[in-house]
Amino acid sequence: MKDCRRTSSRGRARPRRRRPGEAARSAAVCALALVLFASALLSCGGEGDGRSEEEELKARLEKMRSLPYTSVTDEKVSGGPSGVIVYDRERAWPGYNLYFDRMKTRALLLDMEGKVVHRWSAVQTGEHGWEFGILLENGDLVTFAEDMETLRLDWNSVVLWRKLRPVHHEVCRLPDGTFYVIGREMQPYRGLLVKFPVMIHMGADGDEIDRWSTFEHLDEIKRTFDTRSFIDTILDKLEAAGEEAAAAETLDARLLRLDQMNTDVYDYLHMNTIALLPDTPAGRRDERFAEGNLLICLRNVNQIAVLDKDTKRILWVWGEGELEWPHHPTMLESGNILVFDNGVVRKYSRVIEVDPLTGAIEWEYTGDPPGSFYTMTRGSAQRLPNGDTLICESNKGRVFEITPEGEIVWEWLNPNLVEDRRVQVYRMLRYPPEMVEPLLGP
C-alpha cells in the first residue's frame, strides 16, 4: 500500500457552471453521436460510412436491447495490485465499506485498510450472487439476487425473510422502515417484447404494499420526458420512412449477437436508482424537491426525474442531451444532485453535480486523461461528510475516493478474481464508524 501524499491526482475535478440552454443546443449533436455509437457497436468490421437514416435508426433501436451484464473485467490482472493501494489517513474520510460479491451470495464489510471485519452469507439458490443491498442500524442486511429473490438477514446471517421477487439494482429505505426496490414486467409493445420498470414498495417484512408501473404511466412519461431516445420515437421515424414497426423484430441477423441470452427483448427505460430526497434549500424553495419525494434514474433515455412521494406524479426531468446512460443520482445537502454519468458516446465517464433549479453543472470530475476513468455500465458516486466523493468504476472492479479538487486519497481494486479477471463491483457504500463499531463489539 502506498500513501496518497506521494501520488499524483490521476483525475480532474473543477467547478463548472454551464448555461441551462447549452444542453438543449447540443441535443442534435448528442443524438447523432448516439446513433454513431450504436452503429459502431453493431458493425461487423466491413461496413462503410454510407449508412442510410433508416439503417441508423435501426442501429439506435438495437442499442436499446436488453443486454445482460457481465460479471468480471475484460482484462486479466493476475499478479497486479489488489485491495487498498492508496490510503491517505489524514484526508480520507474514515468509515467501513460495504461490498457485495456479485458471483456469490455474500456481502463483505471492509475497513479502510481493506481488511474484512464482517461478512454475511446465505445458501445460493440460483446462478446469481447478491448484486447490491443496504446495511441497517441494527446490523440487518437487505439484499437481493438479481431477478431472483429479495431477502433480509440479521447480523449473524440468519435469514429473517426471503421473497421470490425478481428485482434489480436498488434498495431504498424509507423513514417508516419500508423499502422501495425495482422490478420489471414484460409487455408486448408495438410488435416488440419490451421490459418496463416497476417501482415496488415493500414492507419491513418483505411483503409487497403497492407498485408503480412505468408501462401503466407511459403516456405521462412521454408527455413530461424528452423523447428523443424513446423506442416510440425511433419506430415512428421508421414507419414514416415506409418501414413497418414489426420489421424491427427481423433486423439483420448479425445484430442478434448483441443478445447473449438468445432472446429478442428490448429495455425501454431501464430504471436503476430510487433515492429519497432529504431536506435541502432547494426543497424549501421549490416544492418539487421537497423532502421525501423520490429521485429516479432511467438509463436508456438518459434522464433523471423526481416523483411526488404520494401520487408518483412526475415533477421534474433533466438529462437528455447532457447525460449518457447515467446511474445513481442522489440529492446533496446543498440541494444539488450528484450523478454518475457513464458516457457511452464519449467513451469516458464523469461524476457531475447539477443545480436542479437552473440546470447548471456546478462541479465535475473526469479522469486524466479522460479515458482512464470509464465504465460503460453501472457506476456510483457517494458524497461523503467531509466533502470527498466515493466513486465506483464498476466494470473495472475499482473504487476510489477523491477530494473536491480531484485528488485520490483512497483507492481499492477488487482482489476477488475469477480466471485472473476482477469481479466487477456495482456499488460500494461507506458507513460511518459510529454506526458500525457498536455492531462489531469490543
Range of the domain at 388: 4-440
| Spatial distance between the Cα atoms of 184 and 199, rounded to a whole number of angstroms | 8
138, with CB counted inside 10 A (0-12, 13-18, 19+), is: exposed
- What is the three-class DSSP state of 270? coil
Cβ 360 vs Cβ 18: under 8 Å: yes
Asked if 180 and 170 touch (Cβ cutoff 8 Å), the reply is yes
C-alpha cell at 306: 423526481
The Cα–Cα gap between 338 and 329 comes to 5
Spatial distance between the Cα atoms of 313 and 316, rounded to a whole number of angstroms: 9
If one counts the domains in the chain, the total is 1
What secondary structure does DSSP assign to 275-340, as a single string?
EE----HHHHH-GGG-TT-EEEEEGGGTEEEEE-TTT--EEEEE-TTT-SS-EEEEE-TTS-EEEE
Distance CA 161, CA 157 (A): 11
**Among candidate residues 334, 332, 346, 343, the one with its CA nearest the CA of residue 381:** 332
Q: Are 179 and 142 in contact (CB under 8 A)?
A: yes
Residue 25 φ then ψ, to 5°: -70, -25
Q: Is 137 exposed, middle or buried (0-12, 13-18, 19+ CB in 10 A)?
A: exposed
CB 147 within 8 A of CB 165: no
H-only helix segments in 7-130: 22-25, 27-42, 53-63
* Location of C-alpha cell 473504487: 399
Q: What is the reported pTM?
A: 0.86
Question: Do 305 and 298 meet the contact criterion of CB atoms below 8 Å apart?
Answer: yes
**Per the omega criterion (within 30 degrees of 0), is the bond before 432 cis?**
no
Query: Cell 409493445 sits at which residue?
Result: 189
CATH value at residue 31: 2.120.10.30
Residue 68: CB atoms within 10 Å: 10
What's the helix, strand, coil split of the chain in %, to 5? 20, 35, 45
Residue 241 is which amino acid? A
* pLDDT of the residue at 204: 97
Characterize 91-124 residue by residue with b for buried, 16 or more Cβ atoms within 10 angstroms of its Cβ, and e for exposed: ebbebbbbbbbbbbbbbbbbbbebeeebebebee
pLDDT at 125: 81
Which element (helix H / strand E) includes 239?
A: helix 231-240
Residues β-bridged to residue 4: none
pLDDT in tens, the chain (442 residues): 544 433 435 688 888 655 444 444 444 334 433 433 343 333 333 334 556 666 666 666 666 555 556 788 777 887 788 999 999 999 999 999 999 988 899 999 999 999 999 999 999 887 789 999 999 999 999 999 988 999 999 999 999 999 999 899 999 999 999 999 999 999 999 888 889 999 999 999 999 999 999 999 999 999 999 998 888 887 787 777 665 544 444 333 222 222 334 357 888 999 999 999 999 999 999 999 999 999 999 999 999 999 999 999 999 999 999 999 999 999 999 999 999 999 988 999 999 999 999 999 999 999 999 999 999 999 999 999 999 999 999 999 999 999 999 999 999 999 999 888 899 999 999 999 999 999 998 8
Give the separation between CA 292 and CA 127, rounded to whole angstroms: 36
Rounded to the nearest 10 degrees, how much is the dihedral formed by the CA atoms of 205, 206, 209, 215?
170
